[in-house]
Amino acid sequence: MGILEDKSNARLFYKYLSKVYDQVNRFNWTPEMRTEALSWLEIEPDDRVLDVGCGTGFGTEGLLEHVETVHGLDQSIHQMQKAFEKFGKHDRVQFYRGDAERLPFAADTFDVVWSSGSIEYWPNPVAGLTELRRVAKPGGQVLVVGPDYPHNPVLQRLADAIMLFYDEAEADRMFEAAGYDAFEHHIQQATPRSPRAITTVARVPEE
C-alpha cells in the first residue's frame, strides 16, 4: 500500500496541496480530458449525479454543464473549502464530507456516479467501487478516473510506494470483484509526456 493510501496521510497531503491543486492538476487532468470523459456518459439534465472525491470541484464543474445539481463528497475539508469558493455551499452543489468506502447515501440513489482523481487514495479500492455501485441505480453509470500504471520499472517502484496505480488488467479485476459485468477502459493523456489516466465507464447491473 502506498503512503497516500493511508487516510490520515492523504488528508494531511491535501491540506497543503489544496492551496495549489487547481494550478498543478491542469497539467495532468485537463478540461479537454474531462470533456472527453463526459462524452462517454449518457446524462440527462434531471439526473441525480454524485461526484465522489470531488476535491476542489474540477469534475463537478464539468458535470454542472450537463445537470442542474451535483452532490459532491470528499474527505478533505481543505479541498472542499476551495470548492465552496467556486460554487457556494448550498446552491447547485450539495456537499458532504465522507469516505468513498462508506458512502452516506441509500442504495439506488444516483443515475450517474463520477469519481476522478480519487481511487488512487482508497486503501480498499474494491470496497470503494462496490459502494459506488451500491448507491447507483440499476442500469445507472459509474465513471472512475485513476492513474495508469507506468511502464518504466523505476517509475513503477516509485508509483507503488506512493499510491495506487493500475493497468487495464488490474482494472478488470477490481471492477469484476466489485460486481460490475459491463465496463470499458479508456486511456487519456494531456500530452505525450504527461502521466496517463485510465478512465473506466461501467454500467450498473439491472436487478
Could you tell me the three cell numbers for 81? 473549502
pLDDT (0 to 100) of residue 120: 87
Give the sign of the dihedral formed by CA 59, CA 65, CA 71, CA 76: positive
Share of the chain above pLDDT 90, in %: 61
Domain CATH code at residue 60: 3.40.50.150
Q: Residue 44 is inside which H or E element, if any?
A: none
Residue closest to 200 by CA, chosen among 156, 159, 147, 152: 147
Q: pTM of the predicted model, to two decimals? A: 0.85
Residue 102 lies in domain: 3-203
Please tell me the chain's helix, strand, coil percentages from 3-state DSSP, rounded to the nearest 5: 40, 25, 35
Q: How many domains does the chain divide into?
A: 1
Residue 188 three-state SS: strand
pLDDT (0 to 100) of residue 151: 64
Give the residues across from 131 on adjacent strands: none
CA distance 171 to 33: 19
Q: What angle do CA 105, 106, 112 make, to 5 degrees?
A: 70
Q: Does the pLDDT value for residue 15 go beyond 70?
A: no
Q: Does the pLDDT value for residue 21 go beyond 80?
A: no
Could you tell me the three cell numbers for 63? 458535470
Q: How many CB atoms lie within 10 A of CB 23?
A: 8
pLDDT tens-digit series, residues 155-181: 555 545 556 788 999 999 999 999 999
